[in-house]
Structure 1
Amino acid sequence: MFPEKFIIRMQEMLGEEYEAFYETLREERHQGLRINTLKAETEGFLKKAPFSLSPVPWTETGFYYEGTAQPGRHPLHEAGVYYIQEPSAMAPAAFADARPGERILDLCAAPGGKSTQLAAAMKGQGILVCNEIHPARARILSENIERMGIRNAVVTNETPERLAERFAGFFDKVLVDAPCSGEGMFRKNEEACGEWSPENVELCAERQDTILDSAAQMLQNGGRLVYSTCTFAPQENEGTISRFLKRYPAFSIVKLGKPECFSPGRPDWIPEPAPGIEATMRLWPHKLKGEGHFLAVLRKEGTLSDISSLPLRKDGNRRASEKECGEFLTFASQSLKGWQGGNYLFFGEQLYLLPPGMPSLKGLKVLRPGLHLGTMKKNRFEPSHALALALKPDEVCLSAELVSGEENKDYGPAFAWLNGETFPLTGEKGWYLITVDGYSIGWGKLAGGIMKNHYPKGLRKNWR
């Protein structure tokens, strides 16, 4: 089932523990989801969750679900109320300790699990840059940022080196969930097992060194760098961190309290281990309910600077004036409650709201420069799906509630809406925020007693 050279190495590493490790990899994997606190309060969601959940020990918003459940086939998933995520993968963002108002970079962000976890902790305040070098994966990342209703995220499709040229010393925190040999995902992804080789481990380690060089440049003094992989290979874990600390003596390993099920890093598995490498963390599948992961938290010496004291580039994308946004502002006055506004930016006919304090994005490959507000059409404005998902019912003037049904298999009004169907309604004509069990799911427009469905055609599924 597993490559022979991988088995030999793991036997040497684990000794008597190897049999337990091997048997675990032959068992069914554990599945989890993380509640999106930008949308839902954890306790409130648990009281009416449509499937059985049990807590993941290392994050307050993470939960295991039973193998028979299908949370991805429920309207609340489409509403961004939760994100389906492998349980061990929830650990790195939890140890990033993201806080409102910070500037944070997720450097290798697709498909978006860690980015959306960081965003929830930031509570819509500050700047979150989510980058992915591969275009197709970057599009998936952007879609997940939208689905989770995140307002303060910028999605880029760049190399780490290009970002480092633009954002030197800009971020308070940087998360590097590095591309790796994927050994920890063998029971989840058979392709990772088939692609494994000692040579690929070597190539991954070299790539990780290069990525971390860029991350170090973008972190300001006093900032936190979180490095993680989903591999067991010491060369990509303790080895990568030790090589990094040798190149960058201004960084040190942060010793943090960790769950008892986490294991310490192993200096005896690599040559020239860095001082304190034991404070890194390993997640072993035979010691906890999750896949294999490695995690290190580093700090750059110095003191964090206030965001307003750092110079921001003044050149680049021209911000839109209120006059140019007239149709949107009319929509906002008629349909939204207490809209605060901010820095608007046009990408063609598409209008975006940039996170406050965001520097110029000119010259970068950008998929999402902030919250997509909608499309400026001739003499009218059409709100975006992203705006709907970012709003709550008390932030709009008009809303209409649908129920999802008690069981995943029930075909109720919410499922019909996701299929593109309309429904009759008596009320004031105009734009309505459509909600499912109290959570926003998209826009509808009421005219002639019929709610026209504006759920994007590309997202519609056959739910029957």
Structure 2
Amino acid sequence: MDLPRDFLKKMEGLLQEEYESFHKSYEENNQHGLRVNTLKVPLEEFHRISPFALEPIPWTAAGYYYQESDRPGKHPYHDAGLYYIQEPSAMAVGEIVAPQPGEKVLDLCAAPGGKTTHLAAKMKQQGLLLANEIHPARSRILSQNVERLGIKNAVVTNETPGRLTERFPGYFDRILVDAPCSGEGMFRKDPQACAEWSLENVALCADRQLDILLHAGRMLRPGGRLVYSTCTFSPEENEGVISRFLKLVSGFEVEEVRAYDGFATGRQEWITEGAATIEKTIRLWPHQLQGEGHYIAVLKKTDGRTVEKRQAAEMFREQTRLKDYFEFAKAALAAAPQGKYMLFGDQLYIIPEQMLSVKNIKVVRPGWHLGTVKKNRFEPSHALALAATPNEVKHSLTVTSTSPELEAFLRGEAIKAEGEKGWYLVNVDGYSIGWGKLAGGVLKNHYPKGLRRHGSW
């Protein structure tokens, strides 16, 4: 591929005897990966049902290489949220963040959602996962992926780091800053990143990354862990940003993390006044492993101030307005989901217990979307369907991944079915994919119009 001349000159100076091997890696095809969504399907079960030829990715138990000819993005299991298609090296980040169930976790630059959904799987629907994206269109894509994978404990916001810092000082147990970068590590995968690259843009990215990281540091509680990652090779954006941060902010130290075969260390000599502990950071190189370029650093906050008084998120208390919801739940669900209800206009959510007030911040998704409170009726959401299992509803309809009924359903068509009148959870091979409403032997389709397919696949 045609790489920028300034980029090649820079990399040759950095890598020296490794440069030829690095340059030659661009003649190879990029690797394709998917990560199983263990919120919906155990790994052993996915191995049994998978129609793809998969090879394990060493640094994540749920990650697999697949062949491009498999086209998993076209398979109905993708619509059902059984996996997320993710670049293999990127999966190392979620493993290193390693959030625990019940913690308060922030993914500050989260779109399109690969790392957010990885963190969610590790949190097992417990705790608070705040996923933020500053660009409105990308924040909506992030929200859609949170919904597709059946995540219940995530809040999606569309804010600047500064605005979030005002609301959440010293609050989170773990923070991920997957910083917007020059994208050098993605040149094989994304030719557009290659076309937009320049030395000037590298410098601009580094300054922006430092600003984001400074805000993230203020939102981390004492004793918490901050993971900084990029998909670029540039020392200015990697070792340089971390070194500048440590020079500006006291009370942080670089923490060593487990490295797998093919992982390299950060390089102090590539940066003027590089931090002495920078070799505890990690680099992933395309000529040393099956994946693209990544950089990962872990910072532990060793001291700082704890904020005692917090304004909790507003809980909706007018239970009479939820009468139709509870009637729906009684008729269609084994039990009504419990938690802190929030009504955004006519949209009903359950918000994570640890979420703070959402007043005056831009919220795309304040929690698990249950549905719409309409006049004299309640209409369940797609998010409720994708987070449910057949044993959690009164009525379900199973179709196979190769059946004409499933093709019709995903196109938005009604399908013939027999059974009691009411709402049905449609599932593909036992995994929920959407709602239908049965009456008179016909299941009326409630699959979202924006997700419907056209033609066969």
Give the TM-score taking structure 1 as reference length: 0.96
Aligned position for 1:339: 336
Distance change in 2, residues 1:304/1:66 (3 Å):
farther
Instruction: Give the aligned CA root-mean-square deviation in angstroms.
Output: 1.5
Q: What is the percentage of aligned positions where both structures have the same residue?
A: 56
Aligned to 2:324: 327
Residues 111 and 138, structure 1, Cα contact 8 Å, conserved in 2: yes
Contact kept? 1:227, 1:297, Cα under 8 Å:
yes
Distance 1:235 1:412, change over 3 A: same
Q: Give, in angstroms, the shift of residue 26 of structure 1.
A: 2.1
Number of the residue aligned with 2:395: 398
Q: Which residue identity does 1:52 align to in structure 2?
A: A
Question: Does the CA-based 8 Å contact 1:320-1:346 persist in structure 2?
Answer: no
Alpha-carbon distance between aligned partners in 2 of 1:416 and 1:91, rounded to the nearest angstrom: 38
Q: Which residue of 1 aligns with 2:247?
A: 246
Q: Is contact 1:427–1:449 with CA below 8 Å preserved after alignment?
A: yes
The equivalent of 1:125 in structure 2 is: 126
Distance of 1:175 and 1:269 partners within structure 2? 24
Give runs of aligned pairs for residues 275-314 of structure 1, distance below 5 A.
Answer: 275-302=276-303, 310-314=308-312
Deviation of 1:457 after TM superposition, in Å, equals 1.0
- Displacement of 1:304 after TM fit? 11
Which residue is 2:362 aligned to?
365
- CA distance in 1: counterparts of 2:322 and 2:252, whole angstroms: 45
What is the aligned partner in structure 2 of residue 447 from structure 1?
Answer: 439
Question: Does the Cα contact within 8 Å between 2:104 and 2:354 map onto a contact in 1?
Answer: no
396, 400, 410: which one aligns with 1:418 = 410
Aligned to 1:160: 161
Distance 1:303 1:398, change over 3 A: farther
Instruction: Name the CA distance, whole Å, in 2 between partners of 1:62 and 1:83.
Output: 9
Q: Which residue of 1 aligns with 2:275?
A: 274
User: Retained in 2: the 8 A contact 1:106–1:174?
Assistant: yes
Q: How much does 1:67 deviate?
A: 1.7
Partner of 2:58: 57
* Other structure's SS at 1:121 match: helix
Matched, 1:385 2:377: no
TM-superposed CA distance for 1:413, in Å, is 2.5
1:168-183 matched pairs, under 5 angstroms: 168-183=169-184
Q: Distance in 2 between matches of 1:386 and 1:319?
A: 20
For this pair of structures, how many residues does the alignment match?
455
Q: What are the equivalent positions in structure 2 for 1:36-47 lying under 5 Å apart?
A: 36-47=37-48
CA positional deviation for 1:312: 2.7
CA offsets 1:338-371 (integer angstroms, 9 cap, x no match)? 3342111111111111111211100001110001
Distance apart, 1:275 and its partner CA: 2.1
Kindly provide the CA deviation profile for residues 401-429 of structure 1, in whole angstroms up to 9, marking residues without a partner as x.
Answer: 01002xxxxx6332221011222222111
Cα deviation per residue 1:39-79 (whole Å; 9 max; x = unaligned)? 00011101110111111111111100012111000111001
**Residue type at the aligned position of 2:359:** K
Task: State how 1:170-209 maps to structure 2 within 5 Å.
Answer: 170-209=171-210
- C-alpha distance in structure 2 between counterparts of 1:222 and 1:303, whole Å: 9
Aligned AA (1:412): P
Tell me the secondary structure at the aligned position of residue 260 of structure 1. Answer: coil
**What residue is the counterpart of 1:408 in the other structure?**
none
* Structure 2 portions without partners, runs of 5+: none
Consecutive aligned runs of 4 or more in structure 1 exceeding 3 Å deviation: 302-305
- TM-score where L is the length of structure 2: 0.97
Letter of the aligned partner of 1:70 in structure 2? Answer: R
Partner of 1:92: 93
SS of aligned partner of 1:319: coil
1:263 equivalent in alignment to 2:260: no
1:169 and 1:325 mapped to 2: Cα distance? 35
Distance in structure 2 (CA, Å) of the matches to 1:76 and 1:176: 30
Asked if 1:461 corresponds to 2:447, the answer is: no
Quote the residue 1:112 is aligned against.
113
CA offset at residue 163 of structure 1?
0.3
Does the 8 A contact of 1:172 with 1:304 survive in 2?
no
Distance in 2 between the 1:169 and 1:44 partners?
A: 40
Distance 1:49 1:427 in 2: 30
